[in-house]
Structure 1
């Protein structure tokens, strides 16, 4: 979570007060999960999925549900994934973030060992637990069953967030989705919020008729943040620090950033620190322009890295910036379509109506205009 002292939080999940314009959506997710639905949300990184998920878990926990969150992006092996799931579930009982580490490392005192053993009562293990010799397959199978087992024993509803879920195949290998579905589909006290940043893969996993998770979860589109919500949020933030602002200047910030959550926060943050440095107490269009330049400068290494990874597909972005036809002579239309699809799956472009495409981050477009 972001620090409450940070005016415009950057770089990670934000707390409730910095989730902009999505209260109705939050209430809907919370109600659906509390009623036992599983949900899938997808969209590019840094648009607020994880913040929404963690806030939903916070509210469900307050209502008495058990909750767990696992980020697949942070693990690289089947054993690590199994351990992460087990730890996240057992934290509801033990209050320890890494219960497995505590058990595997041995408990320092007999008293602490007894207390932990009591907290794990009723969760019978089908193997010697914890045991470094336990096979990865057995540990993973136990991890997939644990949300339901824990919920039944403690008479709770369990809600589990699985972030970057499309990475399961990278971690575990082919067949993982079929295996996970076989465990999840018989669970009536545990349900799941699946998150993913690779829209093409996530949509295939949950909407492909030949896929294991076909129609397992309700697919919900992440709503855009309205102009009115951004206006209210940014105005309040600046005014809380004694900085006067008007609607025109705030609208310019939103126009430049496109309302992209992370980029809008970054531009606002740079403007704020610029005003602090200059001693200005009013938000001006000049400050917006200078703050945007500073934001672009900080994003240059990020955008350079993105472009370096794209290879030939970079040409598509350049032609889009130049407002030229995306289909060029000498390149087969199927190859062009493949590159466009890759850019969409990477969260760089979004498809609009009538075959037109927009940059997910307008600041990337501004950057390209400066370097081409």
Structure 2
């Protein structure tokens, strides 16, 4: 539909995943073969869209699948219930099976059929009758993927999004050791771990002292080639009989740096500007208008990022210097403090190294926003 020509604000469907086919196929093969995988990168670059598409394809192959987003959870019980519901949906087709089981208002016949589907899963600690012990609930949830896969003769793939937030949700330092102690015994389940805090995620899976050391292979998410973006954007505009030449399209990509969500947002705003004006050709004027509108929409996100960065000494100052193209180190500042600020910004995936002593923004529109504050 026209209102979703360029999808923004969340995971996209397979037809709007730009040139990720080889990577998705690789993930599908690895996970289907029982290998667990970790993907890390900034928010809004398309990790979740890729992951959901992989799960969709695996489900078509006959796999059981489940997904849990730690970003949306606040405590141990929520995590356990979310994982149990995600697993049980494979049998019941119901998104929140536990809620249905606890709802006394459901028809008795329907409840009986549902109970039969689940009776072999040994709900032995009374979570259908009152509130069970949280630790027992969590232990059951962590083993349920393997129990379900074994009982039904299916392989299973479980997705954990924003995995670095598990310790915040469960509020105990040993959560990763607990999860690893369960998962390492699973023979029919593979896991896909996503995280937006790249530094933390890499430490979790590559530091010998961490529980998930070498539990999953760490794969880099490949960038989207410019030519692929040009083809996609041209095709999408053509669906609405809108003309755009390749030079204009490359100009859009130069402004966004090919950042997936930012590119989608700018194109979406260009599209709406064209609709409002009753035009059907993308010109430099409409590109700039769409870009300016997108920057206004992103302002709230950028302000929140800047507020968080300001809590660390020298970080915002260093960020301004990089944005302006100035030298990062100065005679007035302690080089160790500047180094810590740079490490922090790279760990937050705000900047990345671009050569010896040179850094660039992961998201060029964020750089533009910072520069605009000081003009």
* 1:25 alignment partner, one of 19, 23, 32: 23
SS of residue paired to 2:356: helix
Aligned equivalents of 1:355, 1:233: Cα separation in 2:
35
Q: Equivalent residue for 1:354?
A: 356
> Is the contact between residue 103 and residue 130 of structure 1 (CA under 8 Å) also seen in structure 2?
yes
> Is the contact between residue 100 and residue 106 of structure 2 (CA under 8 Å) also seen in structure 1?
no
- 1:12 matched to 2:10? The reply is yes
**Aligned in 2, Cα 1:230/1:34: closer, same or farther, shift over 3 Å?**
same
**Aligned in 2, Cα 1:353/1:132: closer, same or farther, shift over 3 Å?**
farther
> Is the contact between residue 64 and residue 154 of structure 2 (CA under 8 Å) also seen in structure 1?
yes
Aligned equivalents of 1:125, 1:38: Cα separation in 2:
28
- 1:330 matched to 2:297? The reply is no
Over aligned residue pairs, what C-alpha RMSD do you find? 1.3
Q: 1:121-140 to 2 correspondence within 5 Å? A: 121-140=119-138
* 1:63 alignment partner, one of 34, 37, 61: 61
- 1:207 matched to 2:209? The reply is no
Aligned equivalents of 2:2, 2:262: Cα separation in 1:
19
SS of residue paired to 2:66: strand
**Aligned in 2, Cα 1:4/1:156: closer, same or farther, shift over 3 Å?**
farther
* 1:99 alignment partner, one of 97, 103, 111: 97
Aligned equivalents of 2:84, 2:293: Cα separation in 1:
43
Aligned equivalents of 2:58, 2:32: Cα separation in 1:
7
Q: Equivalent residue for 2:216?
A: 217
**Aligned in 2, Cα 1:104/1:342: closer, same or farther, shift over 3 Å?**
farther
- Offset of residue 40 of structure 1: 0.2
Scaled by the length of structure 2, what TM-score is found? 0.96
- Offset of residue 301 of structure 1: 2.1
Aligned equivalents of 2:319, 2:45: Cα separation in 1:
21
Gaps in structure 1 of 5+ consecutive residues: none
Aligned equivalents of 2:291, 2:152: Cα separation in 1:
52
- Offset of residue 337 of structure 1: 1.8
Gaps in structure 2 of 5+ consecutive residues: none
Aligned equivalents of 1:371, 1:363: Cα separation in 2:
13
> Is the contact between residue 2 and residue 240 of structure 2 (CA under 8 Å) also seen in structure 1?
no
Q: Equivalent residue for 2:283?
A: 284
* 2:141 alignment partner, one of 140, 143, 147: 143
- Offset of residue 5 of structure 1: 5.2
**Large movers: runs of 4+ above 6 Å:** none
Q: 1:190-339 to 2 correspondence within 5 Å? A: 190-311=189-310, 312-339=314-341
* 1:90 alignment partner, one of 66, 88, 94: 88
SS of residue paired to 1:40: strand
1:189-231 deviation line (CA, Å, top 9, x unaligned):
0110000000000000000011111000010000000011101
1:36-73 deviation line (CA, Å, top 9, x unaligned):
10000000000000000111110000010000000000
> Is the contact between residue 107 and residue 113 of structure 1 (CA under 8 Å) also seen in structure 2?
no
Higher mean C-alpha deviation, range 356-365 or range 59-68: 356-365
- Offset of residue 147 of structure 1: 0.2
Aligned length: 370
Aligned equivalents of 1:297, 1:133: Cα separation in 2:
46
Aligned equivalents of 2:293, 2:52: Cα separation in 1:
30
Aligned equivalents of 1:351, 1:210: Cα separation in 2:
27
Aligned equivalents of 1:287, 1:262: Cα separation in 2:
19
- Offset of residue 107 of structure 1: 5.0
